[in-house]
Structure 1
Amino acid sequence: MFKLMTTLIRGRATDAADQFTDANALTILRQQLRDAADGVTRAKHSVAVVMAYASRERSTAERIAAQLADLESRAVEALKKDRDDLAMEAASAIANLEEEQAATEKAMLHYDTETRRLREQLSLAEHRLRSLQRGKQIADAAQRTQKLRGTMPDGVINSLRDAEETLARLQARQAHAESIETAMTELNSTSSAQATSDKLAAAGCGAPLRSEAANVIERLRARVA
């Protein structure tokens, strides 16, 4: 029982933490991106420091190379003049400079390797940061859209729906009225034509439209015969 209670407490704590994270995800993301941007800035400074050290070592190497060339030239001149003492002193100085030169070259190699590694990591970090920033922009836009959608009052939707229904009824009545008007026009036209035909027939213009009594008697007599 105690184990179940412990598991339940841990589960509720995890659920609460997840709900809190989900509710504040965009705010958390913004701060994480600010932290990441600060980290990238510090990384750039570190690369710049290493590059400065490497530049200093290259300057030292150039100075040592110039000193070696000068000492070797002077040592040769001393030997030509049988000044072995000066030549030996120059040789000792040359040996010390060569040791310093070897150490400097080793330091330069180390700085160059470290600079390449840091620049690669910095480039990858900047690429990932830009990708995350684009994703944050999309998330910001989506959240603003959701807020606007959520602030639309229900009354506005209902009013629009009612207006659409009213417009539909009005259009239906107008269409019906137009149909009636068309039918009345056709009826009036037919009645007018019929009246004109009757008037013409009564005046003896053309065949009569209605059977007269005399015509009916003649037709009946013909059937009797």
Structure 2
Amino acid sequence: MSMLAKLSALFRGTAHEAGQQVVDANALKILDQEIRDADNAQGKARDDLAGLVARRRMAENELKSFGEQIAKYENSVRAALAQGKEALAREVAVRIAELEQQIGEREPMIGGMKEAETRLRTAIAQTDQKIETLRREIDIVKVNDSVQKAQTSVALQSAGAHSRIGSAADSLARIKQRQAVNEEKLRASQELEDKRTGADLDAKLKEAGILPGHSSADDVLARLSAPKEVQVVTPLIQQSETVDRDKA
């Protein structure tokens, strides 16, 4: 194969691949347009069927008229023969023969039109069914396409959300670490302040029971409900005399 032929084959292959990609990317739009084209064709077929039915009915009405004329002319022939007017009877008979010939020619035509109507009705009904089936399949494909697009979007957002959650967790860990450091700083500052004021030593003495703690409500009630002790007060004069005797 020459270089030119290879380049030509490459160009055709590339063009075919590119065209196929365009078709695949717009498959749903193409299907929708094809459905619209089929609907338009069905509309044209229905118009043609309606026209055929109208012509067949006109032909049948014409045949009916021919039959009515024949019946009328037959009576006229009988009347002319009864009056001895054979020439007139023959003239009318010629007209009857012409009408019968036209009926004989048009009856097969009407039969053919009826057969064509039946075929057209069948074809239209079958095509309608195919179009409706294809339309349902297209709807299913559209739903599946929308679902897949939604799933793809959710998957991408979920990946981004996982990344954001990981970043937020790292930030939370840093905040907790910073709070723990601040808490240790506050604790250390309080310990230094307690040592400076002696509060830490008082706490140790209270814990050992050496220093009294704050009275509770129960302690106050117990103290106030206990009986008072009678204290004997020695008069000041007696105290003075006692002191003088002791000195002597």
Question: TM-score scaled to structure 1, two decimals?
Answer: 0.68
Q: SS of the residue aligned with 1:151?
A: helix
Q: Quickly say closer, same or farther: Cα 1:95–1:156, change in 2 above 3 A.
A: same
- Which residue does the alignment assign to 1:53? 55
Q: Quickly say closer, same or farther: Cα 1:86–1:148, change in 2 above 3 A.
A: same
The one of 85, 97, 100 aligned to 1:83: 85
* RMSD across aligned positions (CA): 1.9
Are 1:155 and 2:150 an aligned pair? no
Structure 1, unaligned runs of 5 or more: 164-225
Residue 27 (structure 1) shift: 0.7
- Identity within the alignment, %: 28
User: Distance in 2 between the 1:162 and 1:62 partners?
Assistant: 92
Residue 151 (structure 1) shift: 2.0
User: Distance in 2 between the 1:18 and 1:24 partners?
Assistant: 10
User: Distance in 1 between the 2:13 and 2:97 partners?
Assistant: 72
Correspondence 1:26-175 to 2 at 5 A: 26-152=28-154, 153=157, 154-156=159-161
User: Distance in 2 between the 1:77 and 1:62 partners?
Assistant: 23
User: Distance in 1 between the 2:88 and 2:55 partners?
Assistant: 35
User: Distance in 2 between the 1:29 and 1:73 partners?
Assistant: 66
**Does the 8 Å contact 1:60/1:104 carry over to 2?**
no
User: Distance in 2 between the 1:77 and 1:88 partners?
Assistant: 12
Structure 2, unaligned runs of 5 or more: 169-248
User: Distance in 2 between the 1:161 and 1:9 partners?
Assistant: 49
User: Distance in 2 between the 1:97 and 1:107 partners?
Assistant: 15
Tell me: higher relative CO, structure 1 or 2? Use CA pairs within 8 A at least 6 residues apart. 1
**Does the 8 Å contact 1:78/1:84 carry over to 2?**
yes
Q: C-alpha deviations, 1:64-108, integer Å up to 9, x for none?
A: 011111111210121122110210111111111112212221221
Number of equivalenced pairs: 163
User: Distance in 2 between the 1:37 and 1:61 partners?
Assistant: 36
